[in-house]
Amino acid sequence: MDDHTITIDGAEIPFQQGQTIMDAALAAEVYIPHLCHYPGLTPRGNCRLCSVDMGNKSVAACTTAAVAGQQISSDTPALNAARKSITQMLFIEGNHICPSCEKSGNCKLQAMGYYLGMLDEHFPQFYQRREIDASHADILLDRDRCILCDLCVRASREVDGKDVFAIAGRGMDAHLIVNSSTGKLIDSNMAASDLAANICPVGAILIKQEGYQVPIGQRIYDQNMINEVGLQEKAVKKTKQDDD
Amino acid sequence: MEQSNQSQPATRRIAIDPVTRVEGHGKITLLLDADNHIQEARFHIVEFRGFEKFIQGRPYWEVPFFVQRLCGICPVSHQLAAAKAVDQLVGVKQLTPSATKLRRLLHFGQILQSHALHFFHLSSPDFLFGFGSDPAQRNIAGVLEKYPEIALKGVKLRKYGQQIIQAITGKRIHGTGTVPGGMNKALSVAERDALLADITDVLQWSQQALALNEQIHTSHPEHRDFATLQTNYLGMTGENGELEFYHGGLRARYADGSPIFDQLDYCDYQQILREEVRPWSYMKFPYLHELGKEQGWYRVGPLARVNNCDRISTPLAEAARQHFRAFAQGEFVHDTLAYHWARMIEVLHCTESIHELLHDPEIIGTELMAEKGDAQQQGIGAIEAPRGTLFHDYQINEEGLVTKANLIVSTTSNNQAMNESVRSVANQYLDGHEITEALLNHLEVAVRAYDPCLSCATHALGKMPLQVELRDVEGKLVNQLTKGTDGEIYR
């Protein structure tokens, strides 16, 4: 066996020193479902959709270093069932109104639901009351749709160099906050061109007045499944290392 | 139909739970006096939607797609009315010619499919088989079996309207399309040509549908006074008094055809309309303010529009309108069942208008966005939806979030009229008789003529869940009959 290969679902794939299982998989065009991972940003293992089996344990592919000889299972009925359950839980924790949501068709959560064959939410809705922040002239923050992936947190910190967002609270109290004197976006230094304003996988952070401009049929996931799109994402370049 | 074997018909009661997936629920209660004459008849809407409330706090550009979920039959109407309001919010007073024509084409397609659905799928069984005919046959499946040619043409008419909607909005139901100040997609040449390929057939089917409805109404004298009411009429007309669905001024007329007002800017609707809330129904009762609650109620929809307008811009529909008015010696046609006839005149107008628009070079234009102007904090949109005049009124804050919404949907405007029609039919057919399924259907026929939006329920193969209660003068329940959404009758 090559000193720098791992095996995913029976396929031997190479990796470079320092890569995670996710990095190696994406480089080899092997799709492991994920929502909170984005190439180039520090992985956090928040969503757990990329959980894979390695021996007798499950690990998050995005945070686990690739080590030569690893025997990994990813595309298995049991793991996909667990991923579907996780996706269902993400839906019921927030208030996702896909039928009228402007992110519909461009939403990774919705696309993941389709990819995993999710036909209903299964679990009872939480109907949490969450605040909307429309104070910024160009950006809307709708916490109803936030899945706490913290991509915006990392994008703002590592690429935009601004540190606009953070996750506060724990467990059911976890929520996205804005680092400004009032807690409002208008008092932050965020701009619509920031990566943080454009990386949200769901409809929590949106550029105002751009909704519905892309016709049905031409939206991202009208044309490709999330596994195809996920393999095409280019790594963003950090301007600052995450110091957490 | 399930019959009870209990020995006391006056108090017998049979109940079977509803089964199907319908959303709309109607209930009729009748109050009898000491002589068993109908003292009061009420048509209740017992569902609560609450869109006006939960749209609050949402961004304004989301509104057209949020509120179109009010309905699965005429979502385009809500999308368009809301889109017109949103245009005002972004300071757009005039869309580009291509965007305007795309919206008009979309609206014609919407009215065509909704009207076709209503007549062929829902109401035609009553007329083809009879109001009191075997309920097992009195549905679209029965029509398909016995009158397949009629049924299939109806299905195809609706399909054509839906194809227009799909071409413009991306989906047959609940697509997108409108954006603040324009449209999000041009109609391609291929899409236009595909629609043009069928238009000759659609025109022919529309004429046949009109002829069928005219023949049904004129050959049944008993239809003339069935649920018939002498009412005021409200609707939108074009600036020259022509039939207009998308944009025009409000016109109201008395039953004798004399004017109440004309070419009123719909943005001033609150000056002329009030809504009364009654405790027994979730649906409000609008009335014309200057005439008061008792005299100010009115009818909207096809009958109101065809009565109210001075002419129709397309030749075949105009000829049909003149024939329609001649039926009442040039006066307004008040026959409630003539709603169906008027509806098919509108179908023909839609088809002719679609034909014209598809031949208009601007329909495939790509200049779809108007320049935005000064942002406004209130936007009011009104259109003539398939069932009548539809008002959407939104207020937003400086952040663009909705703070207040007021929707007056078409069916609401016909609320009093539907109640009066139910009372009329109850007096005519129930008085002194025991409730039967045939009677129940007579009441439904009266309600169905208006094509109420609670016919989200009726749209389940004509099996609108309906409950009739018979009470004596002291309010005591004497008899009750329930029609479940499975179409079964329960006592």
Give domain status of residue A21, yes or no.
yes
Q: Verify that A57 and A89 share a domain, yes or no.
A: no
pLDDT at A91: 97
- Spatial distance between the Cα atoms of B339 and B417, rounded to a whole number of angstroms: 13
Over residues B76-81, the mean pLDDT reads 96
Query: Of the candidates A47, A75, A103, which is a domain's last residue?
Result: A75
Q: Tokens standing for A59?
A: 């690990």
Which helix (H) or strand (E) segment holds residue A104: the answer is: none
Into how many domains does chain A fold? 2
Q: Verify that A162 and A117 share a domain, yes or no.
A: yes
- pLDDT above 50 for B21: no
> pLDDT-based confidence at A212, cuts 50/70/90?
very high
Q: Verify that A62 and A92 share a domain, yes or no.
A: no
Mean pLDDT of chain B: 87
- pLDDT above 50 for B378: yes
pLDDT at B2: 33
- Spatial distance between the Cα atoms of A224 and A221, rounded to a whole number of angstroms: 5
Q: How far is B62 from chain A (nearest CA, A)?
A: 7
**Residue of chain B whose Cα is closest to the Cα of A140:** B59
pLDDT at B41: 74
CATH code for the domain of A11: 3.10.20.740
User: So what's the ipTM on this one?
Assistant: 0.93
- pLDDT above 90 for B33: no
- Spatial distance between the Cα atoms of B485 and B457, rounded to a whole number of angstroms: 8
Burial B402-429 (b: 16+ CB within 10 A, else e): beebebbbbbbbbbbbbbbbbbbbbeeb
> pLDDT-based confidence at B15, cuts 50/70/90?
very low
Over residues A183-191, the mean pLDDT reads 98
Number of alpha carbons in the 13 Å side-chain half-sphere of residue B139: 15
Q: Verify that A22 and A143 share a domain, yes or no.
A: no
Q: Verify that A206 and A178 share a domain, yes or no.
A: yes
Q: Across the interface, which of B61, B90, B401 has its CB nearest the CB of A211? A: B61
pLDDT at B448: 87
- Spatial distance between the Cα atoms of A96 and A110, rounded to a whole number of angstroms: 9
Task: Collect all residues of chain B within an 8 Å Cβ-Cβ radius of residue A134.
Answer: 59, 399-401
Q: Verify that A193 and A99 share a domain, yes or no.
A: yes
Comparing CA positions, the residue from B208, B216, B457 lying closest to residue B340 is B216
Q: Verify that A128 and A176 share a domain, yes or no.
A: yes
Q: Verify that A83 and A184 share a domain, yes or no.
A: yes
pLDDT > 70: percent of chain B: 87
Q: Does A137 touch chain B (CB under 8 A)?
A: no
pLDDT at A52: 98
pLDDT tens-digit readout, B278-291: 766 677 789 999 99
Contact B400 A134 (CB under 8 A): yes
Q: Verify that A108 and A27 share a domain, yes or no.
A: no
Q: Which domains does chain B have, with CATH numbers?
A: 26-44+417-490 (no CATH), 95-228+335-369 (1.10.645.10), 229-334 (no CATH)
pLDDT tens-digit readout, B153-189: 999 999 999 999 999 999 999 999 999 999 999 999 9
Over residues B456-461, the mean pLDDT reads 33
Q: Give the residue with greater pLDDT, A14 vs B428.
A: A14
Give the Å distances, CA to CA, from B339 to B202, B215, B233, B343. 21, 14, 13, 6
Give domain status of residue A67, yes or no.
yes
Q: Give the residue with greater pLDDT, A163 vs B462.
A: A163
Q: Verify that A120 and A188 share a domain, yes or no.
A: yes
Give domain status of residue A244, yes or no.
no
Q: Verify that A144 and A84 share a domain, yes or no.
A: yes
> pLDDT-based confidence at B466, cuts 50/70/90?
low
Q: Does A211 touch chain B (CB under 8 A)?
A: yes
Q: Verify that A128 and A166 share a domain, yes or no.
A: yes
Task: Collect all residues of chain A within an 8 Å Cβ-Cβ radius of residue B178.
Answer: 212
- Spatial distance between the Cα atoms of B161 and A224, rounded to a whole number of angstroms: 29
Query: Of the candidates A44, A75, A106, which is a domain's last residue?
Result: A75
pLDDT at B170: 97
Query: Of the candidates A48, A75, A102, which is a domain's last residue?
Result: A75
- pLDDT above 60 for B449: yes
- Spatial distance between the Cα atoms of A51 and A75, rounded to a whole number of angstroms: 10
Give the Å distances, CA to CA, from A217 to A2, A106, B166. 44, 11, 11
DSSP assignment, residue B350?
H
Q: What's the helix, strand, coil split of chain B in %, to 5?
A: 45, 20, 35
Contact B61 A215 (CB under 8 A): no
CATH code for the domain of A89: 3.30.70.20
Contact B66 A100 (CB under 8 A): yes
Contact B61 A209 (CB under 8 A): yes
Q: What φ, ψ does residue B75 adopt, rounded to 5°? A: -60, -30
Mean pLDDT of chain A: 95
**Residues spanned by the domain of A173:** 79-229
Over residues A24-28, the mean pLDDT reads 97
- pLDDT above 90 for A111: yes
pLDDT at B20: 22
Contact B65 A100 (CB under 8 A): yes
Q: Give the residue with greater pLDDT, B477 vs B61.
A: B61
- pLDDT above 70 for A49: yes
Give domain status of residue A243, yes or no.
no
- pLDDT above 60 for A78: yes
> pLDDT-based confidence at B454, cuts 50/70/90?
low
Contact A208 B57 (CB under 8 A): no
pLDDT at B144: 94
**Residue of chain B whose Cα is closest to the Cα of A185:** B399
pLDDT at B24: 54
